[in-house]
Amino acid sequence: MEEYNIAVVPGDGIGWEIVPAGVEVIKAAANGDFAVRTEVFPFGAGYFKEHGDFLPPDGMDVLRRFDAIYFGAVGLPDVDDTLPARLFTFKVRKAFDQYVNYRPTRLLPGVTSPLAGKTQEHIDFIVIRENTEGEFVQCGGFFSPDSPEGMAMDTSIFTRKGIERVAHYSFRLARRRRRKVTSITKSNTLIHSLAYWDRVVGEVSGAYPDVAFDKMYVDNASANFVLRPERFDVILTTNFIGDILSDLGGAIMGSLGLGPSGNINPEKTYPSMFEPIHGSAPDIAGKGIANPIGAIWSGALMLEHLGQPQAAGRIVAAIEQTLQQGVLPVDLGGRAQTRQITDAILKNLKA
């Protein structure tokens, strides 16, 4: 029997409520077809407050030996909000070469989009975000910041290798869907870095004549997310732009609480990391009302990546059935609590 070893990192806030719920569902979905072994690690902002870092000195070596990382969210109000990305999220993504950020946007049955008149057939696309370079490399610094002449600088880095590999991933993904890729940048104003992105992606597109390809500026894309989301299939974009657009995608599907994501190393040389797109939400932590669906759906993405698409499909089907039954979390206007939603998904999964 196939066995998968998963590092579980709830993180902070509601992570300690939604991630255990997700683990329950993942193990139930295995259904005797494969085994899932988990080990929980208390890494995050809470760990930082006790130890001075988000991970222990050997933390990356510890995580490296797992097949995947199942993650909640990091961040607490009394911890500098520039630290979680630098000391945990970006650190893991870069160390494990998780160069694909995979974020599906799909209107689920039983959920009404805030976009008037838009149904499931209109909202179904995937944002593929380059995940290890671009605008988030944090290459920069300050010069006399407290003086009248003070200045700050951040430099984006785009490499041919980095652009090519995420572009190839996107076109191959489109071949399994509706065969359309839209590359989104702002190359008419960032005339070096993003014009280079356009050039390299255009070259890659030539290897996929069976996939329709177009380009769009991010301001126009933002409008089309709201007005014509049905025009998108696979969206290919940069680290910064993808971060923003994928949250907009979460909003048009009803709530960020629904959105899953994967930080993926496609070659499986290193473990990939799967997490909901929302934050740690410490303001509602401990109240039992957090929406676990984004975390549970992220668990399905993890199983699919590990080679268990049937189990992943069973989880998504159970989520859809639960929502159709009217078991709605607070962020969707319902009254169901974390435990009730999890129990409903488990029941539908078993049925």
Q: Could you list the pLDDT tens digit for every one of the 351 residues in the chain?
A: 899 999 999 999 999 999 999 999 999 999 999 999 999 999 999 999 999 999 999 999 999 999 999 999 999 999 999 999 999 999 999 999 999 999 999 999 999 999 999 999 999 999 999 999 999 888 889 999 999 999 999 899 999 999 999 999 999 999 999 999 999 999 999 999 999 999 999 999 999 999 999 999 999 999 999 999 999 999 999 999 999 999 999 999 999 999 999 999 999 999 999 999 999 999 999 999 999 999 999 999 999 999 999 999 999 999 999 999 999 999 999 999 999 999 999 999 998
**Whole-angstrom distance, CA of residue 327 vs CA of residue 337:** 9
Query: Are 135 and 224 in a shared domain?
Result: yes
Query: Are 176 and 121 in a shared domain?
Result: yes
Query: Are 116 and 247 in a shared domain?
Result: yes
DSSP state of 44: S
Q: Label residue 174 left, alpha or beta by phi (over 0 means left) and psi (-120 to 50 means alpha).
A: alpha
Query: Are 131 and 227 in a shared domain?
Result: yes
Among 201, 227, 252, give the residue marking a domain's end. Answer: 252
CATH classification at residue 180: 3.40.718.10
pLDDT at position 138: 87
DSSP state of 211: S
**Whole-angstrom distance, CA of residue 171 vs CA of residue 236:** 9
Query: Are 101 and 145 in a shared domain?
Result: no
Query: Are 126 and 225 in a shared domain?
Result: yes
Among 214, 234, 252, give the residue marking a domain's end. Answer: 252
pLDDT at position 157: 95
Count CB atoms within 10 A of the CB of residue 120: 14
Query: Are 133 and 234 in a shared domain?
Result: yes
Query: Are 98 and 137 in a shared domain?
Result: no
Own/partner pairs, 214-220, CB within 8 angstroms, 24+ separation: 214/180, 214/181, 214/182, 214/183, 215/182, 215/183, 215/184, 215/185, 215/187, 216/182, 216/183, 216/184, 217/184, 217/185, 217/186, 217/187, 217/188, 218/184, 218/185, 218/186, 218/244, 218/245, 219/186
Q: Tally the domains of the chain.
A: 2
Query: Are 227 and 276 in a shared domain?
Result: no
Among 252, 281, 309, give the residue marking a domain's end. Answer: 252
Report which residue type is found at 292. Answer: P
- Say if CB 187 and CB 198 are below 8 A apart: yes
pLDDT at position 176: 97
Query: What is the model's pTM?
Result: 0.95
Structure tokens given for 199:
């050039």
For 185, phi then psi, to 5°, come to -145, -165
Query: Are 241 and 126 in a shared domain?
Result: yes
- The answer to whether the Cα torsion of 91, 94, 97, 100 is positive or negative is positive
pLDDT at position 188: 96
Q: Label residue 268 left, alpha or beta by phi (over 0 means left) and psi (-120 to 50 means alpha).
A: left
Query: Are 184 and 278 in a shared domain?
Result: no
Query: Are 122 and 194 in a shared domain?
Result: yes
For 112, phi then psi, to 5°, come to -100, 125
In which domain, by residue range, is 6 found?
1-105+259-351
